[in-house]
Structure 1
Amino acid sequence: MPAPPDSPTAAPAAAPPGASTGSAFARVSLLVYALLIVYASWYPFSGWRDLGIKPFDYLWARLPYYWTGFDVWTNVAGYAPLGLLLVLAMHPHIRPWWAVLPATLAGVLLSACMEAGQTYLPTRVPSNLDLLTNAVGVTLGALLGAACSRTFLHESRFLLARQRWFPAEASRGLAVAGLWPLALIYPQNHLFGLGNLVPPLSGFFSDLLDTPIDLATTWLNNAQLSAEQYWLADVIVTACGLTGAALLVLQLLRRQAPRRRLVALYLLACIAAKSLACALFFAPQNAFVWISPSAVGGIMLGTMMIAGLSWAPPTAQRRVAGLALFLSLVVTNAVPANPYYLSTLETWVQGKFLNFDGAAQFLSVIWPFLALWVLYRKQS
């Protein structure tokens, strides 16, 4: 009799000859990344107008007079992951090297439509140079995907580790967990305090009603907290956000996986990504600007909670993870913005990173809801 799937002696069953071994993780990641491209390309989604210009007229226009090497490499780097994911997502229906051409065409078509849509946005300018560099990026990504297909799609150590440590249905959760470090890049009122709905809702209602609306002022009635209250809120949000993310990853791992080491490595990678973002978007000397007494206190409290809950049954872990993420959402949206956070936003570099700024803010708002959805799906 075969061993149960989650028993330490169980080995992943080999797929029968001819069976589909497509990567659900690649397909989920492709969908998420395509949505991020749409959001980044059309951010801020306001002020749409028709100037009497056809949407694809930019294709025949002269190349822009002003451009920088940074703009070129940003466009290439932004579309390279799309090409890679397209090739991996087409397996096994299309062999990797045969998938390079359709993946490139699909990426170029998406880029052309994104540029065409910018014709109707007052803050964006469609550019044939952007389309060209995006095409280069998606082509390089598709070639890289084909070259790496054996590593990620066939009998490789990476694939065997994926099958040994994660169940087949963990793809959605892995995609959401992979977005957490990216969601942390955008400056937050609290460390790990994602899901702040007040700023985007204020902008939405301002555009809808054509009048400035600040929900933070209306909702919170200009409330100001003491330094001790801000400190306590920061500790709560940091601890709950850290605990919710770590328990989400624990939910995805099999019992025979090195669960605690993988979660520790995941959290260290997220903190490294946060530090790198601070160095890139502010200044190198500000790589660890996010470290504060309250953030350290929250990390210590969250680490103790994770260490204790790592021994708890999966059902208890799932419930605590959902409760922690919900509590973090409530406090994040109920507490007025910290004056230090407002001064941080003023130094956030948006100019060259305007597209990325919109996508990063979008991720920071939506991530807790995606995590709660994954936890709910796992329960049902």
Structure 2
Amino acid sequence: MATAVARPAASSFARVSLLIYTLLIVYASWYPFSGWRDMGLLPFDYLWARLPYYWTGFDLWTNVVGYAPFGALVVYALYPRVRSLWAALLSTLAGVALSAVMEAVQTYLPTRIPSNLDLITNSCGTLLGALIGVWTSRYFLRQSRLLEVRRSWFSREASRGLVVVGLWPLALIYPQNHLFGLGHVVPPLSSLLSDLLDTPIDLATWWTNSAQLSAEQYWLAEIIVTACGLTGAVLTMLLLLRKQAPRNMLMAIYLLGAVFVKSLSCALFFAPDNAFAWFTPGAAGGMIVGGLMLAGLSFAPPIAQRRIAGLALIFSLLATNAVPANPYFVSTLQTWVQGKFLNFDGAAQFLSVLWPFLALWFLYHPVHRKSGGQGAPK
């Protein structure tokens, strides 16, 4: 009797990643979301304009590289319903449509310039990513050693959680008032209210003027925010692991990866000698406190880990927005390099604000509570 061949499963990881990456593209393309106005041009007039006179190789390559992951993720998200060249074609069309809309809306943003050259390079990036996705889908979505490791170490329901924990180190790229203090909604909220009310509003300045803290209080606040942010993020990662997974090794790699990304971003966007500028006395104290908390909580039942992770992230989120910005941090943020990296700056800030809410959605959603990670491989 012939044995039935199991139908390949769709990848939740790819589909959630595609959704988040699309949101990053939208935010980066329309950042800083201020000064909206009608300039007397139709949204798609840029399509028929001459190619820009001034452009650099850097501009072209960043557009190609920025849309390549989108092309690959669309191919992965379509699997197994649509495969091979049909998936590449649909992915390319989706990238062209997305880029065309992003450029068209920039017509109403005085700080942005819609460009047909950007549309061309973004489309080329999507096509390149789609071809890479077709070529690598067998390795990532079918049978490979990487998939075997994923099934052996991580629970079957962990796909969405892997997206969340994978974004944490990237969310740390944008400067934070406190180390691991993600979810600082005050600056973007100030910008939104300023546009809606057509008057400058700075909630951060209002709060700073009404609640000045001493140096010792800033130090204590950073310890609390750092410890809670670290504990919440690492406990979320531990919830995805099975019993037989090398938990201590993966936890160490996760932390080292986050520190590496944070240090590299400080070196690139500030100055090479500022690679460890984030390592303040408050940050060091918070990492020690967080490490001690994790040393005990790593042995706690998954239910307790989930609850404590959620509470830690909520407390970190509230404290990050309640504590006024450290004057040293404000002066440091002014040296954050934007310029050619304006799109990247917007995406980095969006991810920094989004991550705690994304993690809380994962922790408290009923479907995701199955990812306790204690079962045997399936």
Q: TM-score with structure 2 length normalisation?
A: 0.93
**How many Å separate the matches in 1 of 2:319 and 2:41?**
47
Residue of 329, 343, 351 corresponding to 1:341: 329
Alpha-carbon distance, 1:223 to partner: 2.0
RMSD of Structure 2 on Structure 1 (CA)? 1.6
**How many Å separate the matches in 2 of 1:134 and 1:338?**
39
- Corresponding residue number in structure 1 for 2:46: 58
Alpha-carbon distance, 1:220 to partner: 5.0
Matched, 1:205 2:193: yes
Residue of 31, 41, 44 corresponding to 2:32: 44
- Corresponding residue number in structure 1 for 2:320: 332
Q: TM-score with structure 1 length normalisation?
A: 0.92
- Corresponding residue number in structure 1 for 2:9: 21
Residue of 90, 97, 102 corresponding to 1:114: 102
**How many Å separate the matches in 2 of 1:124 and 1:161?**
44
Residue of 249, 253, 277 corresponding to 1:265: 253
- The one-letter amino acid of 2:109's match is L
- Corresponding residue number in structure 2 for 1:4: none
Alignment of 1:288-367 (within 5 A): 288-367=276-355
Tell me if structure 1 keeps the 8 A contact 2:8–2:142: no
- Corresponding residue number in structure 1 for 2:373: none
Alpha-carbon distance, 1:221 to partner: 4.2
Tell me if structure 2 keeps the 8 A contact 1:195–1:364: yes
Alpha-carbon distance, 1:222 to partner: 3.1
- Corresponding residue number in structure 1 for 2:374: none
Tell me if structure 2 keeps the 8 A contact 1:238–1:299: yes
3-state SS in 2 of match to 1:353: helix
- Corresponding residue number in structure 2 for 1:150: 138
- The one-letter amino acid of 1:167's match is S
- Corresponding residue number in structure 2 for 1:69: 57
**How many Å separate the matches in 1 of 2:137 and 2:85?**
9
Alpha-carbon distance, 1:64 to partner: 0.7
Alpha-carbon distance, 1:88 to partner: 1.1
- The one-letter amino acid of 1:119's match is T
The farther-off stretch of 220-229 and 122-131 is 220-229
| Residues 218/282 of structure 1: CA separation in 2 closer, same or farther (3 Å cut) | closer
* Identical counterparts, % of pairs: 71
- The one-letter amino acid of 2:80's match is P
Residue of 160, 164, 169 corresponding to 1:172: 160
**How many Å separate the matches in 2 of 1:119 and 1:376?**
40
Alpha-carbon distance, 1:277 to partner: 0.9
- Corresponding residue number in structure 2 for 1:80: 68
The farther-off stretch of 279-288 and 187-196 is 279-288
| Residues 342/219 of structure 1: CA separation in 2 closer, same or farther (3 Å cut) | closer
Tell me if structure 1 keeps the 8 A contact 2:34–2:191: no
**How many Å separate the matches in 2 of 1:174 and 1:100?**
25
Alignment of 1:1-12 (within 5 A): none
**How many Å separate the matches in 1 of 2:216 and 2:206?**
24
- Corresponding residue number in structure 2 for 1:8: none
- Corresponding residue number in structure 2 for 1:89: 77
Q: Matched residue pairs, number?
A: 366
**How many Å separate the matches in 1 of 2:98 and 2:4?**
36
- The one-letter amino acid of 2:229's match is G
- Corresponding residue number in structure 1 for 2:184: 196
- Corresponding residue number in structure 2 for 1:6: none
- The one-letter amino acid of 2:329's match is Y
Structure 2: gaps (5+ residues): 371-378
The farther-off stretch of 336-345 and 144-153 is 144-153
**How many Å separate the matches in 2 of 1:219 and 1:283?**
30
Structure 1: gaps (5+ residues): 1-14
3-state SS in 2 of match to 1:169: coil
CA deviation vs aligned residue, 1:101-158 (integer Å, no higher than 9, x gap):
2211211111111111111111111001111111121111111112211210111011
**How many Å separate the matches in 2 of 1:216 and 1:204?**
13
| Residues 16/122 of structure 1: CA separation in 2 closer, same or farther (3 Å cut) | farther
Residue of 31, 37, 45 corresponding to 2:19: 31
CA deviation vs aligned residue, 1:297-343 (integer Å, no higher than 9, x gap):
11121111112111011111111111111111121111111011001
- The one-letter amino acid of 1:125's match is I
**How many Å separate the matches in 2 of 1:274 and 1:180?**
11
**How many Å separate the matches in 1 of 2:22 and 2:197?**
30
Moved over 6 A (4+): none
Matched, 1:249 2:237: yes
Tell me if structure 2 keeps the 8 A contact 1:220–1:334: no
